[in-house]
Structure 1
Amino acid sequence: MADVQEYRTSRRYELFSYLPQMTPEQIRKQVLYLISKGWNPSVEHVEPHRSMERFWYMWKLPMFGEQSAEVVLAELEECRRAYPDHLVRLVGYDNYTQSQGIAFVVYRGQGS
């Protein structure tokens, strides 16, 4: 429990935000989980000061039917390089329930 972060010390962004920054291997495992569920990965980004707003910018179109974790990770990294000061999150859209199955911030940006 020593790794859990204090609520008042920093801004919280969706799932996993109370935990320390994920390692690349942990991010890869989450991407594999998303794919194993049959969810469609999508990458989104936004400026830190707008992060609590309802809408984020979509990075390209969702990756419908993507089965390769490497492709998803490459898109996350490409978005981070294009917008180094933005928050970048991964969303998994569930076709069956017509909702988000998972959404979490992968990169917090240099300014956050």
Structure 2
Amino acid sequence: MSSDPALAAPPQETDAALLPRRKVVQYQRPCIPCAQGKGPLTAACCSGVKGLNVAAVSMSHRQAACSCIKFTVVGLKSLQAGSFIGIPGKCGVSIPYPISSSVDSFPIE
């Protein structure tokens, strides 16, 4: 298990229908070095982004994924916001909401 607080303890789930937070963390973990500016965008990162996009099939899944990603954005040390925000587009994935610490995950459909 990672000692990075952004990956160690995402918000608790209360709805069994939510995308499991451990799965969201698994999908985003390969992107962390790129998001910190410590490595290039990798095929593993893009695979995770695409996998999460496919896995988030319902509104509750997308909201859960958003909350977990938001938690990562807030807690990840040395995050380079520009790098992190651009990852989905560079991987060919279009998401209809911004990635930021201030996005409200609950209006997301």
TM-score above 0.5, yes or no: no
The structure with the greater share of residues assigned to helix is 2
Query: Which structure ranks higher in relative contact order (CA pairs < 8 Å, sequence separation ≥ 6)?
Result: 2
- Higher strand fraction (1 or 2): 1
Normalising by structure 2, we get a TM-score of 0.32
